[in-house]
Structure formats: C-alpha cells, structure tokens
Amino acid sequence: MTVTSPLAALRDATRSQLWPLPVMSVVAALVAGLAVPHLDAAVDGSLPDWLSAVIFGGDAGAARTVLDAVSSSLITVTALTFSLTVVTLQLASSQFSPRLLRTFTSDMFVQATLGVFLATFTYSLTVLRTVRSSDAAVPEFVPRVSVTLSFVLAVASVIVLVVFLAHLARQIRVETMLHDVHEDATATLRSTLDELGPSPEEPRHVPQTPPHAWTLTAPGSGFLVRVDDGELLGICVDLDVVVVLNTHIGSSLVEGCPVGSAWSTSAAADDEEVRRRLQQALDKSVHTGVERTAVQDIGYGLRQLTDVANKALSPGINDPTTASHALGHISALLCELAGYDLGPLVLSDDDQRIRVVRRGPDLENLVDVAISQPRRYGASDPQVMHRLFQLLTELGWHCRPDQRHVVRAQLERLVTTVHAQDFDTAEVTQLDGAAEKVRAALVGD
C-alpha cells in the first residue's frame, strides 16, 4: 500500500458535493456582472462599425426586456434541471443501490450544468440593475456589450440543457453506472496499492504484538474513511512507540471499541502520559464518516458492484441479466486486484525501525465480499451460477500459486450451493462443466 495525501481526501470531499462548482460560478458571474458594465462605459462610442452592428443595439427598455427574459427563464430551467437530477438520484437509489448516489453527485457534468444556468441567471440579474433610462438628471445608459454577453450565455445554456438531457439519459443506464463505478474503483486501487513484481515477494515483516501492548480505541462512530499516515508516523517517532491498526479502511467503527494496539520501544517511556498523547494523536489522524468513500477504501467499489448484483437478484427486481453484468465488472476488478500488493502498509522511521502497521483487506476477504451474497441470492438461477463459475475461472487465471487457495475455497462453496438446488440434469451437467473449467485454470504453477 502507498500513503494517500490529505489533499486527495479534500478533493474527493469537494467533488462529491453538488454545491461547490455552482457556487463558484455564481460568484464569478456576480463579479462579471459588476465589471463588464464598467467596460461598456469605457468603450461606448469607440467600438468599430462591424462590432457595433453585431452587438445589442436596442434602447434601455429593450435591454431590460432581454435581461428580464433571460434571468426569469434560466431560473426556471435551473429548477427543472435540479428536479431531473433528484429524480435520477431516487431512481438510482431504489432501482440499483443507495451506494451509487455518491457517483451521481460527483458527476462533474451535472455540476457544470447547474453552474452555467446559475451563472447566466446571476449575470443577467446583476447587469439589469445597471440599465438606466434617460431623464432630466441622468443620461441613458445601455450596457450593449453586457446585454450581448447575456444573450450569448442564454444560447449556451440552451445548448447545455440539450446535452445535459442526453447525458442524463445515458447516466441512468445500468451499464453506464457499472462502468463508472468500475473506473472509480480502478483509480482508487492504482493510487493506493503497489503492483506486485514478476516473482513472488517475501512476506512483509510485521512485528508481533507483545503482551505489554495497550489497546487503542476508535475516536468516533461511523465508517473509517481515512488515516493520515504521515501524521501518525510522526507522533510514533516522537513518542518512540509502535502502532498496529487492525481495522481496515471502510470498516464500521464504534467509539471506544478497539481498533489496534501500541507499545513503547523503551520501557522508560511506557507510562500513562505516552498513552494519553498517542490516543489524542490517533483521534486526529483517524477519520470517520457517515458513509464510505473511495479515497483509500479499495473495497468500496466492490461493495457498490455487489450491491447492484444483490438488488437485481431481489424478488422485487428479478433481473439476473443485470446481476451477470455486475459480476462481469466484479470479475475484472478482482483480477486486477490479484496483481497488486494487498499486504499491510508498513511505515518506518529514518533508522528503518517499523513504527506504523496498517492492515487492509486481503484477497480472500475481497473475494468473499464480492461472491458470497450473489451466490446466496442467485442460488436458484443457473445463469447467475454459471457467471459465478466463470468469475472464478477468470480469477484463477490471474492468481499467483499462493493465492489459488482463495479460489478453491470459493469453488467448493459454489459447487455445494449448486448441488443443493433443484436444477434439472442438463443444468447440473452444464454447471459441473463450468466447475471443471475453474479447476483447469488452477492447475500448474
């Protein structure tokens, strides 16, 4: 495993919210709505003839009409866009999985669309206040460039609306959602894990927990979403202690329950003050949240894909084809995970003394998360069972010899499940043949 910077967590937290980009667009539009009319006043009367013929040429009343029409129509379109987005979120939650909502809210196209609409509304409304009709005291002022820019933004908003509707129609397709989850999960494991070399590596040395070690407890309840490894390493060096975190990213924590252990490497420093300071440092470096995120959680994508498969196999949905598609993405993700180092993250000080050990889910745990529930919920469907055998075959071709016991264990459980069902002879024969393909993939070095 590699250390993930806090900046990546901040970027993910910002991206998964719908409001940051639209708010920044509103601020930029407000500034432009105040600045461009001043530019109009500075260049009024000095524009080339060809440009004067192109930009807005009406009086103050016409300018107000255009700006009012743009601002009023854009706020209506924005409400429509937001409503469509909410409907899409509800559909994704009920039809596929609540865990997919984060994927939708982090869609930059949706955020950019809301930003364009709100920016056009804010800009037009801000420019509207600068239009003046002529009277005895004040001369007429029509910000021609500003009104023209408002018109251009309105046309751009219409184009963006059409593209947004096409994008939304594509996003609610299950194939698109599965692909997006797969891509996000792949990006997480590539940024978090180290690839295995061409030959098997020696097992990573992890210090044994001594009898005098003390227990570290969770700082809060929720999902473990991130650990600031650098900060934790620094306090371990300062206090001359070793910390082992046995709870991996994505696990559910309860405040006050054990998450790991620690011990001092010098007997003189092993006192209550060291324990207190270390627990305080752990409270700052171990972050919990109300939902899992993909920053450091390599199992989150598998959980999402498995949830889609489970939902498709529920009696209310009954869509084994979608479940098979989800299992295809699960298989590809597991095969890629088999090529990465899933051992614990070990951090050492400048003297190469181990200070922090953070365990993560191994291949056996990840495969069990991905297969156990679909095997149970799809036990009566030969199509799903056949796809699970195919998944194990594909994983068997990618596993190293020391990883093949994971596939063998899952194969035995799957065969037992198949023979416990009321399949006809042809279906049993077909599934037994699929099991033989798994065994063939596991033969050899």
At 134-186, the pLDDT tens digits run: 875 778 899 999 999 999 999 999 999 999 999 988 888 889 999 999 999 99
21 and 158 housed in the same domain: yes
Residue 71 pLDDT level (bands cut at 50, 70, 90): very high
Owning domain of residue 268? 214-289
- Half-sphere exposure (CA, 13 Å, Cβ side) for 140? 11
Confidence at residue 14, expressed as pLDDT on a 0 to 100 scale: 67
153 and 83 housed in the same domain: yes
* Cα maximum dimension of the chain: 98
Q: Is 169 left (phi over 0), alpha (psi -120 to 50) or beta?
A: alpha
Output the DSSP codes for 72-141.
Answer: HHHHHHHHHHHHHHHHHHHHIIIII-GGGHHHHHT-HHHHHHHHHHHHHHHHHHHHHTT-B---SSS--B
Instruction: Report if residue 178 sits inside a domain.
Output: no
Confidence at residue 13, expressed as pLDDT on a 0 to 100 scale: 63
158 and 246 housed in the same domain: no
160 and 96 housed in the same domain: yes
347 and 261 housed in the same domain: no
58 and 13 housed in the same domain: yes
Where among 229, 256, 289 does a domain terminate? 289
Confidence at residue 100, expressed as pLDDT on a 0 to 100 scale: 79
Confidence at residue 172, expressed as pLDDT on a 0 to 100 scale: 83
CATH of the domain at 251: 3.90.1170.30
Cβ atoms of 226 and 233 within 8 Å: the answer is: no
285 and 304 housed in the same domain: no
Where among 238, 257, 289 does a domain terminate? 289
Percent of the chain with pLDDT over 90: 64
Tens digit of each residue's pLDDT (9 = 90 or more) over 237-294: 999 999 999 999 999 999 999 999 999 887 655 578 888 899 898 888 999 999 888 8
Average pLDDT over residues 208-222: 91
Q: Does position 332 have pLDDT exceeding 70, yes or no?
A: yes
**pLDDT higher for 6 or 257?**
257
22 and 161 housed in the same domain: yes
Mean of pLDDT over the chain: 89
388 and 407 housed in the same domain: yes
Q: Is the dihedral of CA 308, 327, 301, 370 positive or negative?
A: positive
Instruction: Report if residue 202 sits inside a domain.
Output: no
340 and 403 housed in the same domain: yes
Confidence at residue 1, expressed as pLDDT on a 0 to 100 scale: 54
